[in-house]
C-alpha cells in the first residue's frame, strides 16, 4: 500500500487484515507513523489553562484554553447527574459529511476540564489518579511527591523523570524500574544509589557505569572502595551547575561508546518494538505491558487484539482498532477517551456505553447516534447508511482528521514523541499554538548562582527565564529543598525543555533494520542505522554483560 500522506509504501500484515475483517472496517490508507501521529495529537498532556467552568462559573484549570470553542465543566460537575449528554442529540443529516456533523456536536456537548482522579493536592497535573502532592506531571498513577515527570507509576519523591516505576528519591532518570536514590540513570532495573549510569541490573553504588549486573561500588566499570565512591559522589554533587553539565556531557559520551541492547524489554515472547514487558505476540509495540496479539501501538496494558492505538488498557481492552485512550473496553474503533464500553464507532468521552456511533460524553447509554437515542432496530438500520455516507466522503475507516482534533499539535503527546516544526505541522493539517507573550517576560533574577549553596530561599519568589526557549518558570519550595539536600544546581531550562531533553534520549517508536555490531545477525531495533551507538542482538548483549 502507498500512504496517502507521505506517498511511502507500507505493509498491511495478515493479523491486521484479519482484525479489520473481523470488525468490518476498511484496511488502513496511511502508514503506521501517520496513524500514530494523529492519535497522539488527540491528547493534550502538558497544557493547563485558567478558565471558568461553564456550568458553575467557578475558576478552574483546564486542558482547554479559554478561547477554545468548547463548553467545559469542572470534573466534579461533568461526572455528576445535573446534566445528560443525550439532551444534545440530533438527527443524522445524509446531505452533510459525517465529520462535519461530529464537529458541530463537539461544539455543544460539555467536556471534562482535566483528568485528575482520586488525588489530593494534585490540581496542576495531567492524567493523574490515586496520587498525592504532585506538581506539573503527566501520566501519573499511585504516586506521592512527584514533580516535573512523565509517565511514572508507584513512585515517591522523584523529580524530572521519564517512564519510571516503583522508584523513590530519583532525579533525571529515564526508563528505570524499582530505583532508589538514583540520579541520571537510564534503562536500568532494581538499582540503588547509582549515578550517571546506563543499562544496569540489580546494582548499587555505581558511578559512570554501563552494562553491569549485580555489582556494588563501581566507578567507570571498575571496582572501587566505599571511600573512593563517596569521594567521587561528593565531587559530582557539589551543587555546581558547571559540574552537573560537565558530568551529564560525560555520561552522554559514555553511552555512545558502550554496547546497547537492541530492545529494552523483559519477559516477552515473539515481540518486536521497545520497552515491552510480559507480552506475547505483540509487534511494533512500545511501552506496553501484559498484553497479547497487539500491533502498531504505544502504551498497551492487559490488552488483547489491539491495533493502531495509543493508550489502551490499564484495566484491560480487547478488539480495539485506531483509538486513543481506551479503558476496559471491547470492540471499539476510531474512538477517543472511552471507558468500559463496547461496540462503539467514532465516539468520544463515552463511559459504560454500547452500540453507539458518533457520540460524545454519554454515560450508560446504548443505541445512540450523534447523541440521539434510538431503538435497536432503528440503530441497526441507520448505521449501514452512515457507513455508506462516510465511505462516499472518504471518511469511513479513517481516524478523526487533524482539523477535528481539539488541540493544537504542540499541545499534545504527538509533539513529544514525533516533534514537528510549526510549518511541518500546519502542512499536515494540524493547528499550532502561538506563544503567549505573557509567559516570556525577562527574568526577575539577573544571574542564577552557579552553586546551590549560594542560592537563597528568595529564589522561590523570582520569575526565571529558560536558557533555551526563554519561557518563564519558577522554583517551588519543596524543589529547592531537594536540590539543596542532594547537592544539585538550579535547572536553567523550563520544565517543557527539560522534558523534551529527556524525550530526545528516549528512542523513537519506530523500528529500523540493522545488523548486530558483534555477530552481524539481522535485528529490528529503535536505533536508527546511522546513529553512533554500538547495538547488539540479545544473544551477544547477554554474553557481554553476564
Nearby residues of 30 by Cβ (< 8 Å), 6 or more positions away: 3, 4, 5, 6, 10, 398
Give the sign of the dihedral formed by CA 125, CA 138, CA 33, CA 289.
negative
pLDDT band of 58, cuts 50, 70, 90: very high
For 8-18, the pLDDT digits (tens) are 999 999 999 99
Give percent of the chain above pLDDT 70. 100
Q: Which residues pair with 152 in a beta bridge?
A: 140, 164
User: How much is the pLDDT for 115?
Assistant: 84
- pLDDT tens figures, 125-158: 999 999 999 999 999 999 999 999 999 999 999 9
- Check pLDDT > 90 for residue 315: no
pLDDT in tens, 261-299: 999 998 999 999 999 999 999 999 999 999 999 999 999
**Does residue 166 have a pLDDT over 90?**
yes
How many residues in the chain? 546
The arithmetic mean of pLDDT across residues 302-308, rounded, is: 97
What distance separates the 2 farthest-apart alpha carbons in the chain? 79
Give the pLDDT confidence score for residue 436 in this predicted structure: 87
- Condensed to tens digits (0 to 9), the pLDDT of residues 375-409 reads 999 999 999 999 999 999 999 999 999 999 999 99
Q: pLDDT, tens digit, for every residue of 470-505?
A: 999 999 999 999 999 999 999 999 999 999 999 999
Q: How far apart are CA 2 and CA 67, in angstroms?
A: 38
**How many Å apart are CA 274 and CA 537, to the nearest integer?**
13
What pTM was computed for the model?
A: 0.93
Separation CA 335–CA 317 (nearest Å) = 13
Domain residue limits, the chain: 437-494, 512-545
- At 532, the pLDDT band (50, 70, 90 cuts) reads confident
pLDDT exceeds 90 at position 546: no
User: How high is the pLDDT of residue 446?
Assistant: 87
CB 51 within 8 A of CB 66: yes
Instruction: Determine the pLDDT at residue 435.
Output: 85
Grid cell of 502 as nine digits: 529527556
Nearest to 273 by CA among 286, 262, 261, 264: 286
At 264, list the grid cell: 529494552
Per-residue pLDDT, averaged over 58-69, amounts to: 95
How many Cβ atoms sit within 10 Å of the Cβ of residue 458?
Answer: 8
Per-residue DSSP letter, 293? S
Model confidence at 208, in pLDDT bands (50, 70, 90)? very high
Asked whether 332 and 344 are in contact (CB, 8 A), the reply is: yes
- Average pLDDT score over residue span 1-30: 96
Closest CA to 237 of 248, 221, 253, 225: 248
Residue 82's pLDDT band (cuts 50, 70, 90) = very high
Collect all residues with Cβ–Cβ distance below 8 Å to 468 and sequence separation of at least 6. Answer: 493, 494, 497
Per-residue pLDDT at 307: 98
Amino acid at each position: 500500500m502507498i500512504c496517502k500522506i507521505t506517498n511511502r509504501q507500507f505493509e498491511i500484515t495478515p493479523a491486521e487484515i484479519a482484525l479489520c475483517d473481523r470488525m468490518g472496517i476498511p484496511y488502513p490508507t496511511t502508514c503506521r507513523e501517520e496513524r500514530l501521529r494523529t492519535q497522539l495529537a488527540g491528547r493534550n498532556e502538558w497544557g493547563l489553562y485558567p478558565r471558568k467552568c461553564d456550568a458553575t462559573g467557578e475558576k478552574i484549570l483546564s486542558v482547554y484554553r479559554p478561547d477554545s470553542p468548547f463548553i467545559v465543566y469542572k470534573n466534579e460537575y461533568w461526572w455528576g447527574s445535573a446534566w445528560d449528554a443525550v439532551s444534545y442529540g440530533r438527527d443524522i443529516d445524509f446531505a452533510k459529511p459525517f465529520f462535519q456533523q461530529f464537529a458541530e456536536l463537539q461544539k455543544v456537548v460539555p467536556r471534562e476540564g482535566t483528568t485528575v482522579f482520586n488525588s489530593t493536592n494534585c490540581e496542576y497535573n495531567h492524567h493523574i489518579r490515586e496520587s498525592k502532592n504532585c506538581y506539573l506531571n503527566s501520566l501519573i498513577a499511585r504516586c506521592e511527591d512527584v514533580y516535573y515527570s512523565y509517565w511514572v507509576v508507584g513512585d515517591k519523591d522523584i523529580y524530572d523523570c521519564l517512564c519510571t516505576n516503583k522508584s523513590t528519591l530519583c532525579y533525571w532518570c529515564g526508563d528505570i524500574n524499582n530505583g532508589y536514590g538514583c540520579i541520571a540513570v537510564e534503562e536500568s532495573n532494581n538499582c540503588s544509589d547509582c549515578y550517571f549510569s546506563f543499562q544496569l541490573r540489580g546494582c548499587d553504588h555505581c558511578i559512570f557505569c554501563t552494562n553491569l549486573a549485580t555489582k556494588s561500588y563501581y566507578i567507570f566499570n571498575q571496582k572501587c572502595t566505599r571511600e573512593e565512591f563517596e569521594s567521587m559522589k561528593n565531587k559530582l554533587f557539589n551543587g555546581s551547575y558547571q559540574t552537573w553539565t560537565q558530568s551529564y556531557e560525560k555520561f552522554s559520551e559514555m553511552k555512545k561508546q558502550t554496547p546497547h541492547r537492541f530492545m529494552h524489554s523483559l519477559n516477552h515472547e515473539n515481540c518486536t518494538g521497545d520497552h515491552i514487558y510480559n507480552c506475547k505476540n505483540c509487534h511494533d509495540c512500545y511501552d506496553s505491558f501484559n498484553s497479547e496479539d497487539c500491533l502498531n501501538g504505544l502504551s498497551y496494558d492487559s490488552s488483547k487484539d489491539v491495533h493502531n492505538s495509543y493508550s489502551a488498557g490499564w484495566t484491560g481492552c480487547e478488539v480495539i482498532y485506531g483509538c486513543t485512550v481506551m479503558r476496559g473496553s471491547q470492540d471499539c474503533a476510531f474512538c477517543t477517551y472511552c471507558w468500559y464500553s463496547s461496540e462503539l464507532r467514532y465516539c468520544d468521552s463515552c463511559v459504560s456505553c454500547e452500540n453507539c456511533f458518533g457520540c460524545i460524553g454519554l454515560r450508560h447509554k446504548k443505541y445512540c447516534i450523534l447523541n440521539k437515542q434510538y431503538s435497536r432496530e432503528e440503530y441497526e438500520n441507520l448505521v449501514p447508511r452512515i457507513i455508506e455516507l462516510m465511505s462516499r466522503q472518504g471518511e469511513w475507516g479513517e481516524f478523526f482528521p487533524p482539523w477535528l482534533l481539539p488541540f493544537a499539535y504542540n499541545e499534545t503527546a504527538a509533539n513529544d514523541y514525533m516533534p514537528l516544526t510549526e510549518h511541518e505541522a500546519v502542512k499536515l493539517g494540524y493547528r499550532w499554538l502561538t506563544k503567549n507573550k505573557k509567559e516570556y517576560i525577562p527574568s526577575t533574577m539577573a544571574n542564577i548562582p552557579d552553586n546551590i549553596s549560594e542560592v537563597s530561599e528568595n529564589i522561590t519568589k523570582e520569575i526565571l527565564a529558560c536558557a533555551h526557549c526563554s519561557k518563564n518558570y519558577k522554583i517551588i519550595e519543596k524543589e529547592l529543598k531537594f536540590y539543596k539536600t542532594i547537592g544539585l544546581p538550579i535547572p536553567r531550562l523550563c520544565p517543557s525543555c527539560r522534558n523534551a531533553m529527556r524525550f530526545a534520549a528516549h528512542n523513537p517508536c519506530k523500528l529500523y533494520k540493522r545488523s548486530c555490531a558483534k555477530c552481524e545477525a539481522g535485528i529490528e531495533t529503535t536505533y536508527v542505522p546511522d546513529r553512533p551507538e554500538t547495538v547488539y542482538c540479545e544473544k551477544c548483549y547477554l554474553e557481554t554483560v553476564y
